[in-house]
Structure 1
Amino acid sequence: MATKESHTWLQNYPAEVLPSYSYSEEPLQHFLLRAAEEYPQKTAIHYMGKDLTYQEVYEYAVQFANVLKSLGVEKGDRVAVMLANTPQAVISYYGTLFAGGIVVQMNPLFVEREIEQHLVDSGAKVLVCLDMGYPRVQKIRDHTNLEHVLVTSIKDFLPFPKNKLYPLKQKKDMGMKIEVNYDRTTHNWKESVTKASKQREEVAIDPRKDLALIQYTGGTTGAPKGVMLTHYNLVVNTEQCVQWMYKTEKGRERILAALPFFHVYGMTTAMNLGVMHVAELVIVPRFDPKQVLKTIEKKKITMFPGAPTMYIALTNHEDIEKHDLTSIKACLSGAAPLPQEVQHSFERKTGGKLVEGYGLTETSPVAAANPIWEGGKLGSIGLPWPDTEMAVLNQEDGSLVDSGEVGEIAVRGPQVMQGYWNKEEETNAVFSGEWFKTGDMGYRDEEGFFYIVDRKKDMIIAGGFNVYPREVEEVLYEHEAILEAAVIGVPDPYRGETVKAFVVCKEGQELSDNELETFCRTKLAAYKIPRLFERREELPKTMVGKVLRRVLAEEEAEKSEHGNTGKASG
């Protein structure tokens, strides 16, 4: 399908980056073993004042693997890890791989229905969860295949006196003391791990065939789908990340881990990259802009993968000028489109480099990114990574379209998933040979840079014209009074759909509908201009800061059912 003409992106690669590499043919967990052998006393994790060396993290991971084996976990068994960003999350992840298991990442904020859904679909035998999540697990446990639950607590790796004070804070915040009844199938994570052997037993792994991870995605349109990623998929994508960030140095970086590890973006660009590059992972349990600014300055953070909402919050924080952020080398933005004005503002205020990348859970996740230090293009998602091909396909017949023409983005490369867990029909629907069809609409310019105009399912058809929400949002972000914006299509009896914009104004700022409409009229064709505006205090988001247009659309649908339509101003 690809042609020589479609590889024009290679001429825009930085001189330091090769078009192709030879990737490690070994299990992902071996990079933790390697780090412990080569840099045993190097700090691997900094967490709330507590430091763990690579030797310590490796030994804990081996001990956790031995705990799993003692509970009957064998090669290929699924182990669900439902943890916030903590040392236990890293240890449980790599320990599962050492045991030959397949990690099933789960959001610790899941409600009972979501927990049950993921556990039943994956067939997980063991679950690791926080004590505060244990009551939710208990309610649905009998409806799953779970044989054992390992329960840990935030306090387990806190330094003194925080570990003693935490239970009091937890009781105050939750209004109750959490009690866990340990028995033959419910185990104390910390006690089990510290008692286990540190002797590693090798499990034979075929990196190209054996799964390391089942990562769920696509819950917006029905049941979530489990993306099957092999050891090789994840190793390749992490090594591609290292090569793209060619100015970083092994053993000398400090990564701010604010993205959740249970999301594939944080897992690869923070946790796995950190281990492979022997960096210090500075774990931030919760993204608080003021605390993050202090952490970047105090810990001399050099790498900070994040989401646009994080950079928006930092650049608009009143304290940003008070902190020295010049240690930052590279920030890769993902999970959602990066508004150009946010990129300009962040680089101007910090001196760090911030570029937009692109990927999906199905691509481990990164498929493309702008060159970090030179040659990028604002508004673009950049160039396909080494050994990765991208194409733009005609929606009707799947043929390649010319540069500049909008179509569906397709990807093929060694980081592309094996398919969806137990969902052959859904897998076949998204593959055309080796090409994975992303569902994102975009185009390629003559120099090989790719641009996303929007998700196929988010496209608005107003009066017969296609309107892409991202384009309208980019314009709204240019207004100096707007902090955040989201655009959706709402039913319209005359136009079929019309454009509605939700805006969050900066503190102390106000905008009327007329002011917003006048501003948009100078920058957008008439059919793209929002006809409805609504002010919000905040927008609904995922854990990685991606704005949930789906939730806004559901709210509008509910209003429509009750006859509550018209020009809302919040």
Structure 2
Amino acid sequence: MPQDEDDRPWLPLYPPGVAADVATTDASLVHAWRARVAAAPTAPAVRYFDGVITAQEAEDRSNALAAALQSRGVQRGDRIGVYLQNVPAYPLLLLALWKLGATALVLNPMYRGQELRKLIDDSGACGMVCGDDAVDETRATVAGSTVLWILSSSPRHGQTRDDLRAFGSLDVGPVSPDGDLLALSEEFAGRRAAEPEVGLDDVALLAYTSGTTGPAKGAMNTHGNVLAVVRSYASWLALTPDDVVLAIAPLFHITGAVINCTIALLTGAPLVLAYRFQPEVVLEAFAEHEVTFTIGSITAFNAIYNLPQAGAEQFASVRALYSGGAPIPPSTVERFQERFGVYIHNVYGMTETTSATIAVPLRGRAPVHQPSGTLSVGVPLPGLRARVVDPFGHPVAHGEQGELELSGPQVVPGYWRKPEATEATMPGGRLRTGDGAIMDEQGWIYLVDRLKDQINVSGYKVWPREVEDALYEHPSVNEAAVVGRPDDYQGESVVAYVSLKPGRSADPDELRAFVRERIAPYKCPREVHLVEDLPKTQTGKIRRNVLRDPRD
């Protein structure tokens, strides 16, 4: 029988005390944050190596930043680019922007040139904050855009340990001519902005995604969306102020911003930051800060697993370890638990669902779909409605394959200034994920096929066209096709097939180096295969499916 409209067979699998639906009395993220501050103002809110920021200090510093930004003209609804790694300035800046009713445009610091400029132009951002090592290049990239000012921030602020393994160098970058974030927070100390009335429908985060089809689109993650995910996932984990949250996921990613950063800020659990992911540094952070929860890509956990010094002692305090963004082979989970004594729980989410919406219950184990050998990504979290539907949007029977469709308070209202794309991907508010799935009679969900060409590298989304466009800039390239290939380490790897122009030459290493100069490193092909010709349909369209799986 097809699934019913309100069929939720997964509810009996919920941990004790977890409600079927998500409820919040918070008027906004700022309202929720200030309730946390009032409850424990002297409790640590952020830990960064040997540095600590209490909740009251975070409140005061973010008030100062809000006043400084307002003096530069930032108003409700403005988009401000946050172009930083995992540093204390990040959560402080988020709080400041939310107090102003402004939107944090979260930007991957690995983006360069046109990759970055396209997002600036599409969002209409009026300001940016970047690391001091990126000031000059960023100024050149956004010259002539809507960006009126760029503030700098040093990753070394907020700590004194100066771990070279993390920072690489202790060289000090140039302060932006428009100002430095730390200096501004000191200049405006004790001052408060005139705060507008901010509600659940205000956009808190503008996070760009390739979505289910086409080029990058800005998902409008509202205060209500973020609160729904934070409250539902915090109850799922039974997260309390006694927990310690380690941000393995980058804060510029929706998972890092919501399920590492915001969930810690609002629940009262200290947020541990360690700049860029560096396996040795992160491993030590587990033990030093007595981390109880984190979520990261399977690539990160594999990197930790490969450290010879890693052992169960570093994970002694951990009670909840989750991984999302890329499928996890069952054997990887088993090996990790055997060595460290900790089970990696699967979690699934999208930028359009404001991160986590499907997860394996805490202290539960994901079943394996026997026909495919696929490990379940879990069951829907409180408040989420999940169905598997046919190409016409009709629900299929449990155990049958179709497309995963999601709806609920976690799903964004749409894409920034793209009503047609919104309607195509979220007709009637139902998100068509583009992921092939099976739901069994208990409500366990298995992702068994990819219905889109998008490639998932360690949780980062790669659109083949971006890589192909970079390859086409090489004077010797005639045709190019890029596909994803299953990879035990990072979920999928980028593989390129290239035919060359007659009489021209290029080798794979040269092409890889050429692409690396133009796009983010994780998008660069791990393999480049030179071929005489690419497989095509009768109409001349390149058949990526044949390259992805020659059996097709």
Say whether the fold is shared (TM-score over 0.5). Answer: yes
Distance of 1:211 and 1:70 partners within structure 2: 21
Q: Output the CA distance in 1 between the equivalents of 2:389 and 2:267.
A: 36
The residue matched to 1:212 in structure 2 has which SS?
Answer: strand
Equivalences for residues 288-367 of structure 1 within 5 A: 288-321=278-311, 323-367=313-357
Distance 2:211 2:30 in 1: 29
1:514-570 deviations in whole A, cap 9, x for unaligned?
A: xxxxxxxxxxxxxxxxxxxxxx9xxx9xx999x86x9458x44x655699x99xxxx
1:224 matched to which residue of 2?
216
Alignment of 1:40-119 (within 5 A): 40-119=41-120
The 3-state SS of whatever aligns with 2:19 is coil
Asked if the contact 1:112–1:140 (Cα under 8 Å) also holds between the matched residues in 2, the reply is yes
1:311 and 1:342 in contact (8 A); partners too: no
2:382 counterpart SS class: coil
More helix by share: 1
Distance apart, 1:375 and its partner CA: 5.7
Amino acid at match of 2:44: T
The one-letter code sitting in structure 1 at the alignment partner of 2:35 is R
Closer, same or farther in 2 for the Cα pair 1:384/1:167, shift >3 Å?
closer
Q: 1:392 aligned to 2:388?
A: yes
Distance 1:445 1:73, change over 3 A: same
* 1:34 partner SS: helix
SS at match of 2:397: coil
Q: Is the 8 A contact 2:127 2:150 kept in 1?
A: yes
Moved over 6 A (4+): 163-168, 487-491
Tell me, what secondary structure is at the counterpart of 2:10? Answer: helix
| Percent of residue pairs bearing the same amino acid type | 26
- Secondary structure of 2:98's match? helix
Q: 1:329-478, aligned counterparts within 5 Å?
A: 329-374=319-364, 376-378=366-368, 379-395=375-391, 397-458=392-453, 473=486, 477=488
- Per-residue CA deviation, residues 431-462 of structure 1 (Å, 9 max, x unaligned), is 231211001111101111111013212499xx
Matches within 5 A, 1:503-522: none
Aligned ranges 1:28-47 → 2 under 5 Å: 28-47=29-48
Q: Alpha-carbon deviations, 1:287-346, whole Å to 9, x = none?
A: 222222222122211112111111222233222237342210001111111221121222
Greater Cα offset, 255-264 or 213-222: 213-222
**Structure-2 change in CA distance of 1:341 and 1:33 (3 Å):** same
Q: Distance in 2 between matches of 1:444 and 1:16?
A: 24
Letter in 2 for 1:20: D
| Deviation per residue, 1:183-232 (Å, 9 max, x gap) | xxx11221111111434446344533211111111189753100011100
Could you say if the C-alpha distance between residues 334 and 28 of structure 1 is closer, same or farther in structure 2, counting changes exceeding 3 Å?
Answer: same
Tell me the amino acid that sits aligned with residue 453 of structure 1: V
The answer as to 2:25 corresponding to 1:24 is: yes
Pair 1:199–1:377, CA change in 2 (3 A): farther
Change (3 A) 1:560 1:28: farther
Shift of 1:357: 0.8
Please say if residues 65 and 96 of structure 2, whose CA atoms lie closer than 8 Å, have aligned partners that are also in contact.
yes
Does structure 1 retain, via aligned residues, the 8 Å contact 2:312–2:340?
Answer: no
Q: How far apart in 2 are the matches of 1:291 and 1:178?
A: 23
**What is the identity, as a one-letter code, of the residue corresponding to 2:232?**
Q
Q: Distance in 2 between matches of 1:85 and 1:450?
A: 32
Give the distance between the partners of 1:163 and 1:296, measured in 2 at CA: 16
Q: What CA deviation, in whole Å up to 9, does each residue of 1:349-389 have, x standing for no partner? A: 22234210111000001111011113642410111111101
For residues 359 and 167 of structure 1, the distance between their equivalents in structure 2, rounded to whole angstroms, comes to 30
Task: Name the aligned partner's letter for residue 416 of structure 2.
Answer: W
Unaligned 5+ residue runs, structure 1? 172-176, 461-468, 478-482, 492-535
User: What TM-score results when the alignment is normalised by the length of structure 2?
Assistant: 0.80
The number of aligned residues is 485
Task: Give how far 1:490 is off.
Answer: 8.6
Q: What is the RMSD of the two structures over their aligned residues, measured on CA atoms? A: 3.4
Q: Secondary structure at the match of 1:304?
A: strand
Shift of 1:276: 1.2
Q: Does structure 2 retain, via aligned residues, the 8 Å contact 1:359–1:367?
A: yes
**Aligned letter for 2:90?**
A
